[in-house]
């Protein structure tokens, strides 16, 4: 295995994972990126997506939404508002997420009628959510 | 002088009270452990989050385009006090202490001619604040149905507060909660959450992080994204601290109650025994003097 670095994934309620990994692929707001040891220090916000780590027990995947990643030369810590291992991801949780994204979008459209900014953001969030569902093989609910 | 039967009933009733308080104490102890665990596991997130936000806040500083959540609206006329207390009583001075702190704060602000608005979380705080400041209420968050506070609860409260802020309902928001130190000591605390009051002095020495980060997207966009989450995080921390404090306070209150009940039972038992002895002595005297009279 290549050189490893410390990887932490924390959600507000608990520490989801903390291990030594070779690489971690992060769904950043401006695009996916892979961080390995000695990566340049970087802070990026997350878009809803799948985070995959190349750890000692093979590859592990997590669904993350909202939050940010802090990458330094020593390691990467991801602070996500929601972090669920892909295996634990159910139709129910996913539908819940998509539904709240839908509501946020509808609300943004209502409140910001003459400002495209927030509406676009909400639309992107929703699209990311749906794309993530495709990625892990769960279809979005019919809304 | 109460009769023997009265005393006996009294002792029985205090005994059953003692059983109840003892049970409540043990329940509180079990719940306290869980609440402490929850607070413990939430700590890494909150610490990291605040450290990063403090760094960001320091670098964006006072530039004109900085988000309002950080710099404030430029006024401090209208204050929102978010009073967070328990849903249930029987926990010593826990609810009263938080309410007292909030009331003092409100009185001070009113004295300075500011407008005060109150939002309560938890039934006990609402009842107590309503007596003095019923006309200042703007809302109440009911957590009666919530068995274990989760991040979604904090998010809900944060969304409510942020919506009010966006609508220009207030300039400064402060949360009141109780910080958990240990079982016997909970400190009622006031913390300003809007505009965000990040202790920038902390951040340098926490892990010697003089690291210069690249930001993606730029610092201000990240800050705009993270600040609302920061409000939720702070509220979540406060909720967890409160939950632990509540159980700690209840545990020590119930411990005291159990001990008092024990003392009372001892005293009553002595009194009972004395009265019984007095009755016996009386009867003996009657018999003896009756015999002597013959």
The residue-averaged pLDDT of B176-191 equals: 90
B243 touches chain A (CB under 8 A): no
Task: Pull the structure tokens for residue B197.
Answer: 């009051």
Q: With cut-offs at 50, 70 and 90, classify the pLDDT of residue B280.
A: very high
Task: Considering the domain delimited by B26-250, tell me its CATH architecture.
Answer: 3-Layer(aba) Sandwich (3.40)
**Cβ within 8 Å, pair B150-A13:** yes
Which chain A residue's Cα is nearest to B211?
A41
The beta-carbon neighbor of B213 closest among A42, A66, A79 is A42
Task: Pull the structure tokens for residue B17.
Answer: 């009270």
Residues of A in contact with B48 (CB under 8 A): 10, 70, 77, 79
A3 touches chain B (CB under 8 A): no
Q: What's the half-sphere exposure (Cβ side, CA atoms, 13 Å) at B207? A: 9
* pLDDT number for residue B63: 65
For A22, the 3-state DSSP assignment is coil
**Cβ within 8 Å, pair A79-B45:** yes
Rounded Cα distance, B266 and A95, in Å: 61
Angle formed at CA B50 by CA A119 and CA A126, multiple of 5 degrees: 20
* pLDDT tens profile B169-182: 899 999 999 999 88
For B171, the 3-state DSSP assignment is coil
> In 3D, which of B209, B184, B160, B210 has the Cα closest to residue B92?
B184
pLDDT at residue B204 greater than cutoff 50: no
**Cβ within 8 Å, pair A11-B221:** no
* pLDDT tens profile A83-111: 888 888 888 888 888 888 888 888 877 77
Give the DSSP letter of residue A113: S
Distances (CA, A) of B252 to A52, B36, B249: 47, 15, 5
Rounded Cα distance, A59 and A52, in Å: 7
A110 touches chain B (CB under 8 A): no
Residue numbers of B annotated as active site: 91
Rounded Cα distance, B90 and B225, in Å: 41
Instruction: Give the helix ranges, DSSP H, for A36-90.
Output: none
A·B CB contacts under 8 A: 76
Percent of chain B topping pLDDT 70: 93
Distances (CA, A) of B2 to A66, B12, B173, B274, B276: 69, 15, 57, 12, 11
Rounded Cα distance, A101 and A116, in Å: 17
Q: Which of B213, B223, B228, B231 to mutate to test the interface with A (most CBs of A within 10 A)?
A: B213
**Cβ within 8 Å, pair A14-B41:** yes
Q: Mind telling me how many Å the CA of B86 is from chain A's nearest CA?
A: 20
**Cβ within 8 Å, pair A12-B42:** yes
Tell me the average pLDDT of chain B: 87
Name the pTM for this structure.
0.86
Tell me the average pLDDT of chain A: 84
pLDDT at residue B64 greater than cutoff 90: no
Q: With cut-offs at 50, 70 and 90, classify the pLDDT of residue B62.
A: low
Establish whether the linkage from the previous residue to A27 is cis, with ω within 30° of 0.
Answer: no
Any residues with CB less than 8 A from the CB of A141 and at least 6 apart, and which?
Answer: A95, A98, A99
Backbone φ, ψ for residue B112 (5° rounding): -85, 5
Protein fold of B4-21+254-293? Helix Hairpins (1.10.287)
Which of the listed ranges B38-42, B122-126, B288-292 does the model predict with the highest average pLDDT?
A: B288-292
Higher pLDDT, A142 or B163: B163
Residues of A in contact with B211 (CB under 8 A): 41, 72
Q: Are strands A49-55 and A42-45 parallel, antiparallel or unpaired?
A: unpaired
pLDDT at residue A140 greater than cutoff 80: no
Cite the residue boundaries of each domain of chain B with CATH code 3.40.1380.10. 26-250
Task: Measure CA of the first residue to CA of the last residue in chain A; give whole Å.
Answer: 45
According to CATH, the superfamily of the domain at A5-87 is F0F1 ATP synthase delta/epsilon subunit, N-terminal (2.60.15.10)
The residue-averaged pLDDT of A60-77 equals: 88
Q: Mind telling me how many Å the CA of A108 is from chain B's nearest CA?
A: 12
Q: With cut-offs at 50, 70 and 90, classify the pLDDT of residue B266.
A: very high
User: In chain A, what are the domain boundaries?
Assistant: 5-87, 90-136
Which of the listed ranges B7-16, B64-73, B123-132, B155-164 does the model predict with the highest average pLDDT?
A: B7-16
The beta-carbon neighbor of B226 closest among A10, A28, A68 is A68
Higher pLDDT, B257 or A125: B257
Cite the residue boundaries of each domain of chain B with CATH code 1.10.287.80. 4-21+254-293
Task: Pull the structure tokens for residue A49.
Answer: 């997506």
* pLDDT number for residue A1: 55
Q: Mind telling me how many Å the CA of A81 is from chain B's nearest CA?
A: 8
* pLDDT number for residue B199: 58
A77 touches chain B (CB under 8 A): yes
- The secondary structure element, H or E, covering residue A118 is helix A116-136
Q: With cut-offs at 50, 70 and 90, classify the pLDDT of residue B207.
A: very low
Rounded Cα distance, A87 and A19, in Å: 18
């Amino acid at each position: 295995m290549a050189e490893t670095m410390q990887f932490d994934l924390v959600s507000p309620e608990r520490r989801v994972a903390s291990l030594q990994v070779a690489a971690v692929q992060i769904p950043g707001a401006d695009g996916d990126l892979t961080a390995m040891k000695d990566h340049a220090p970087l802070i990026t916000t997350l878009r809803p997506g799948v985070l995959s780590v190349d750890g000692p027990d093979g590859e592990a995947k997590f669904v993350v939404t909202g939050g940010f990643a802090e990458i330094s030369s020593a390691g990467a810590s991801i602070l996500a508002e929601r972090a669920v291992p892909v295996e634990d991801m159910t139709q129910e949780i996913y539908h819940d997420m998509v539904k709240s994204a839908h509501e946020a979008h509808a609300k943004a459209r209502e409140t910001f009628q003459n400002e495209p900014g927030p509406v676009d953001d909400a639309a992107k969030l929703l699209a990311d959510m749906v794309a993530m569902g495709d990625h892990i093989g769960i279809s979005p609910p019919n809304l | 002088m109460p009769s023997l039967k009265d005393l006996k009933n009294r002792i029985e009733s205090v005994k059953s009270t003692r059983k109840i308080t003892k049970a409540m104490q043990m329940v509180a102890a079990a719940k306290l452990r869980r609440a402490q665990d929850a607070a413990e596991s939430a700590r890494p997130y909150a610490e990291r989050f605040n450290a990063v936000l403090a760094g960001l806040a320091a670098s964006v500083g006072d530039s004109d385009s900085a988000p309002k959540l950080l710099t404030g609206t430029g006024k401090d006329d209208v204050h929102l006090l978010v009073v967070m207390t328990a849903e249930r009583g029987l926990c010593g001075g826990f609810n009263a202490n938080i309410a007292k702190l909030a009331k003092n704060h409100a009185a001070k602000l009113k004295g300075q001619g500011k407008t005060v608005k109150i939002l309560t979380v938890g039934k006990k705080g609402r009842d107590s604040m309503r007596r003095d400041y019923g006309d200042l209420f703007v809302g109440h968050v009911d957590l009666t149905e919530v068995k274990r506070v989760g991040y979604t609860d904090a998010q809900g409260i944060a969304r409510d507060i942020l919506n009010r802020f966006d609508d220009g309902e207030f300039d400064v928001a402060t949360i009141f909660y109780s910080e958990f130190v240990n079982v016997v000591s909970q400190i009622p605390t006031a913390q300003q959450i809007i505009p965000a009051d990040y202790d920038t002095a902390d951040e340098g020495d926490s892990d010697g992080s003089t690291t210069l980060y690249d930001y993606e997207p730029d610092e201000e966009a990240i800050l705009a994204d993270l600040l609302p989450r920061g409000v939720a995080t702070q509220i979540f921390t406060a909720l967890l601290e409160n939950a632990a404090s509540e159980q700690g306070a209840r545990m020590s209150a119930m411990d005291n109650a159990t001990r008092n009940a024990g003392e009372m039972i001892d005293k009553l038992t002595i009194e009972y025994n004395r009265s019984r002895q007095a009755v016996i002595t009386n009867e003996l005297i009657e018999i003896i003097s009756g015999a002597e009279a013959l």
